[in-house]
A and B are shown apart, each in its own frame.
Chain A
């Protein structure tokens, strides 16, 4: 049984009189201890998908199962024990920390809400977690503004980790950080995964980071998964034209590696109603069939799936 199992999930937002189908029929699983990367461009629905799974945004259709239990429609009370099992790390740790709370209050509140341990036990856990994520031992009585960007992300990680979750949804956790700090945070997340057997749903627009960090990768476009495969397969043999275009657009740090012309034109426009394949207007290889008929996500063998008639 998978740790997380998502079936035909839909999330819709009202935009004026229209409905924006931010997540439009997504199915996937995350195994115990597995890191699943979710890549795509802004507006593709990847953050909404993360928030829907955590029940921070209501779903319109579909089911979310955690450890085999259907949590799609649980009330807040019944949801509480499941919330402990899945936590989230945000892109901007400063925006997700209350500036008037000390780090002790931030972390202790999480433990208190979930009624974990008495005062002395909680104190011991706080000390442990702060050291474990690489913060100075005197951090507990300090305020968020006293920390650098990288340290604040360590606080965000501590807050997620203190509840001993099985799954952490990481939404662009290193995108706001400088390169030298990114490596520190990624290494920390990898160490913690090994130590606590964590599974990650790692949401990012940065293909290089996802290539390094994920076991399996989902490529999302306009509310749908358009390709999924193990990290090695996806980079060796991308099959969807969108995945290929994404890879081709990442500039290589080797100046002798000659760049190619921009692989696709235009941008993702989420307000349009599209018939056929959602990517056809930008696809260099689109045919009449692509304009008429939406391709389903189909298996290409060895856990590799793509939603393209010609993949």
Chain B
């Protein structure tokens, strides 16, 4: 049984469907990257798993199974036992998640004592251990600091300490390093990966940065306009992305290792924007797609399984790959 199975999840806001029949699963201890551009539904998916959607959002259909239990069937008190203890969330901007008037020690012990019966003193000792664990120097002296005394990277470490305090099985990291500098990003991602191994957590890594995905994830799911359009292992994905959107994304990215310069070559673009498909039937990517056929504008293509545990929601690609058996992929 997978640790987490999201099954045909749809989430609607007034006048807008943010997630459309998204299905994916995460195995114990692995890192799945959920990738896509702003507004594609990746954060809404994460918040659905935490059951922390804004009040105007509605889960229209689907199931979210954590170790076999459907989180959508839990009452709010039951869900509070799950948050932090089994699934935790860290976000892009730690400053908005931390309470600015409380010391970080107090905020960490609060999390610990929410789920475990520990004295104040024992919880404080655990908090020091946790700050050590996330590699904050002089942890015992840092407990009485307030968030504004810390740098951005240190704040994100505090968030991570709080998130892993009760050893969750799954950590959802929503753009955890997007607000950080590149050298700090490397430190924080290295820390997350180390914790994943030491604590046996799975990580759902939400990002728009394909470099981060290539270096830190085991598998990838690509979202476009609320739907998952491609899934697969990291190496086959980067060696041969299948969906035209995935290919476009990798093509439009400037890779720091590539010897590309404006004086020699032009960047390949994906024409238009996500809004191009507003109000149209069929595949949402069709208006921007270089290989779209008339059929693409009629029906939404299903996610079709291919060899190598890959899947793609593009009939044109499936045909090119040699059908669902993927003769051409072998």
Residues of A within 8 A of B (CB): 35, 41-42, 148-151, 178-184, 186-187, 190, 205, 207-209, 211-213, 215, 231-232, 235, 245-257, 259, 261-265, 267-269
Contact = CB atoms under 8 A, between A and B. Distances in A.
Given A41-B183, A42-B181, A255-B238, A179 B269 contact: no
B185 A249 contact: yes
B260 A250 contact: no
A255 B262 contact: no
Contacts of A211: 254, 256, 260-261
Interface in B245-282: 248-250, 252-257, 259-263, 266-271, 273, 275
A42 B262 CA distance: 26
B181 A183 contact: no
A56 B254 CA distance: 32
- Most chain A beta carbons < 10 A, residue from B152, B183, B214, B216: B183
Nearest to B265: A212
B235 interface: yes
B140 to A, nearest CB: 19
Contacts of B226: none
Nearest to A40: B181
B38 interface: yes
Nearest to A190: B262
Contacts of A149: 38
Contacts of A180: 37, 248-249, 252, 269-270, 273
Given A252-B257, A263-B186, A183 B214 contact: no
Contact of B261 (A42, A212, A264): A212
Interface string B181-211: 1111111011000000000000000001111
Contacts of A209: 254
A205 B261 CA distance: 17
A254 B257 contact: yes
A265 B182 CA distance: 12
B181 A265 contact: no
Contacts of B38: 149, 178
18 contacts: A41-B184, A148-B273, A148-B275, A149-B38, A178-B37, A179-B210, A182-B252, A183-B267, A208-B256, A235-B259, A249-B182, A253-B210, A253-B238, A253-B253, A255-B214, A262-B187, A263-B183, A269-B151
Contact of A255 (B153, B234, B250, B253): B234
Nearest to A43: B181
B17 interface: no
Contacts of A179: 37, 208, 210, 249, 252-253
Contacts of B151: 267, 269
B268 A253 contact: no
Contacts of B213: 253
List of 9 A-B pairs having minimum Cβ-Cβ separation, nearest first: A251-B211, A178-B37, A41-B181, A180-B270, A183-B252, A208-B256, A183-B267, A251-B215, A249-B186
A145 to B, nearest CB: 13
A251 B153 contact: no
A205 B181 contact: yes
A150 B275 CA distance: 11
Nearest to A191: B266
A257 B182 contact: no
Nearest to A148: B273
Nearest to B150: A267
A250 B260 CA distance: 16
A231 B256 CA distance: 12
B316 interface: no
Nearest to B183: A249
Nearest to B153: A267
A101 to B, nearest CB: 22
B182 A41 contact: yes
Nearest to B236: A255
- Most chain B beta carbons < 10 A, residue from A151, A181, A254, A255: A255
Contacts of A213: 262
Contacts of B268: 183
Nearest to B267: A183
B212 interface: yes
A232 B262 CA distance: 12
Contacts of B190: 261-262
B124 to A, nearest CB: 26
Contacts of A247: 256
Contacts of B261: 211-212, 231-232
A249 B183 CA distance: 5
B211 A267 contact: no
A207 B252 CA distance: 15
Nearest to A268: B181
Given A179-B252, A180-B273, A255-B214, 14 more contacts: A35-B262, A41-B182, A149-B38, A178-B208, A212-B260, A246-B182, A249-B182, A250-B256, A252-B214, A253-B210, A253-B214, A254-B255, A262-B190, A267-B152
Given A186-B267, A212-B261, A251 B214 contact: yes
Contacts of B214: 251-255, 257
